[in-house]
Structure formats: C-alpha cells, structure tokens
Amino acid sequence: MSRIALAAALVLTVSTPVSGLDVSEYRIVDLTHAYNAQTIYWPTSPSRFELTELAYGETPGGWFYSAYSLCTPEHGGTHFDAPVHFSASGAPVHEVALEDVIAPAVTIDVSAQAAADPDYRLTVEDVLAFETRHGEIEGGTIVLLRTGWSERWPDTSAYMGDDTPGDATRLSFPGYGADAARLLVEQRGVSVLGIDSASIDYGRSQDFAVHVLAAASNVGALENLTGLDRLPPAGFTVFALPMKIEGGSGAPMRAVALVPRESR
Ligand SMILES: [Zn+2]
C-alpha cells in the first residue's frame, strides 16, 4: 500500500462516526412499581420490603447526608424470576444473558377478558389472533401480557384475590395458560415472559406449570409490571435489569420500555 493510500485509509478509519442510541427518538415508559411499605409479596413471604434510615440530616461538617439500608425477599414488587427459581439446572440471576433482558418486545392485551374473568389464562387462540394482526412473534422476543391488574396495585386483596397472610391457596388473578406459554417458549423461542399481575401462573395455580415449563427452557419471568397500557402491541424494546445477585433465584428489577416516538 502506498503512503498516500495508507494515509487515506487511516483518515477513513478515524473519521467514521460511531453513532450511539439517540434516546430522544424514543418515549421511555417505566414498567416498574416503586418499592415501599405497600409493596405486594407472595402471601407466604416471611418478610416484606424494609428501608431503614441510617442517616438523615445536617452533619457536623455542615453538609447534608442521608443513607439507608434495605432488606427484601427476592420475589416481591416488580421483579425478575431467574430460570433457577423453578429449575435446578436453570440460570441464576447473575448468569442470565443480557441479550435476554434487553430485547424487542410485544404486548398481548387480554385486559378485556381478565375484566370479565379474574382467573383468565392466555390461550393459544389469543396468541394466534395477536400474530394474525401483528406478525409471528420472533425468537428472542420479550412477551408482555397485559391483564390490567396493575391498576389494582397496591390493594392486596384486589390484586391477589385474597389477603390472608401465609395462605396461598385462595389467590385469584389472571396469568398465562400452559398451552399458550408452551407455544411461546418452545415453538417461538421467546426470551422472557412478562406480566402485570403477581405471577406468570394464574392465581389459582397449584402446580406452577408455566413457571416450570419456562424454566425448563431457561426462560425467566417479569412479574408485577406496570405501565403496559402505555405500550404499543409491537415495535419497541424492553430493558428489564434485575439486581445482579450472585446465585439469586430472582431479584428486584427496574424495567423500562423504549417506544419509537412515531408509534402511537
Ligand atoms: Zn417471582
């Protein structure tokens, strides 16, 4: 290569612009409930969210200082279920691939069905009807199931169907049906199943079939989401980032969606 050609190649290399994500082109939707004393946990949870003040106020040095400690079971509030939650060979939360939780997403809306039947479960027919309108759901997609249940938060009895401490046998809220979950996980190859109720299995479930089949394919879950009414059916991206707890079966999570501004 001549000196001139080499110089031209170098200029070309260094002057090629690297464009980052232009966030201004997106509407950012928070899919996360705040953690506080009203945060809803499973009825059998031994404890709830605790925020303990360590310091708050003016210091002798003249500056303000505040700090807290926090304590929470993994599975409460807006959180992530790692595959190891229901599969001994599933990934713990720190090993979940970031490509699985930062991914294109779809919103399947069954809020009308759930309003008529609180024990409603997503059906295969619902998934196929969605695909007829919006195209086949691609592998690696994050599926968000909108039931409308986040509007009941944080009223525990309205949200869970029962508020008896320690008793998980009388719960009632919508979720995924096992056949629909099997279609999404095993045939479509989706990366994560999300929902705006307390569990991807409906409240009456006693065998957690959806958790078990999802975990067997190393598919995690996003539970107690909110803001799904602000999302289009398709064409957006979800960032669902759980706290990186080494060996954890799940973790509190901040989930957001980036929706292109031209859509809806
Ligand atoms: Zn969970």
User: Domain 22-35+74-260, what fold?
Assistant: Glucose Oxidase; domain 1 (3.50.30)
For residues 1 and 9, is the Cβ–Cβ distance under 8 A? yes
DSSP state of 201: B
**Closest C-alpha among 108, 149, 114, 148 to residue 129:** 108
Q: What is the 80 CA–ligand 1 centroid distance (Å)?
A: 6
Residues of the chain with pLDDT under 70: 1-16, 263-264
Q: How far is the CA of 76 from the centre of ligand 1 (A)?
A: 7
Q: Is the peptide bond before 60 cis (omega within 30 degrees of 0)?
A: no
Bridge partners of 201, per DSSP, are 176
Question: What does the pLDDT read at residue 157?
Answer: 97
Kind of pairing between the strands at 192-195 and 142-146: parallel
Question: Greatest CA separation found in the chain?
Answer: 81
Q: What pTM was computed for the model?
A: 0.92
**pLDDT value for 10:** 53
Ligand 1 centroid vs 75 CA: distance in angstroms? 4
Ligand 1 centroid–CA 54 distance in Å is 29
Where in the chain are the domains? 22-35+74-260
Name the amino acid, one letter, at 181.
A
pLDDT of residue 81: 98
Distance 189 CA to ligand 1 centre (A): 21
**CA angle at residue 16 from 13 to 22, to 5 degrees?**
150
**Distance between Cα 222 and ligand 1 center (Å):** 8
Cβ contacts of 34 within 8 Å, gap of 6 or more: none
| Ligand 1 center from residue 82 Cα (angstroms) | 8
In the reported structure, the alpha carbon of residue 139 is separated from the centroid of ligand 1 by a whole-number distance in angstroms of 23
225: CA distance to ligand 1 center in Å? 11
- AA identity, residue 47: S
- Which tens digits make up the pLDDT trace of 21-62? 999 999 999 999 999 999 999 999 999 999 999 999 999 999
Distance 198 CA to ligand 1 centre (A): 8
How far, in Å, are 67, 76, 77, 223 from residue 53 at the CA level?
Answer: 6, 21, 20, 28
The pLDDT score that the predictor gives to residue 262 is 79
Q: How many CA atoms lie within 13 A of 222 on its CB side?
A: 36
User: What is residue 9's predicted lDDT score, i.e. its pLDDT?
Assistant: 54
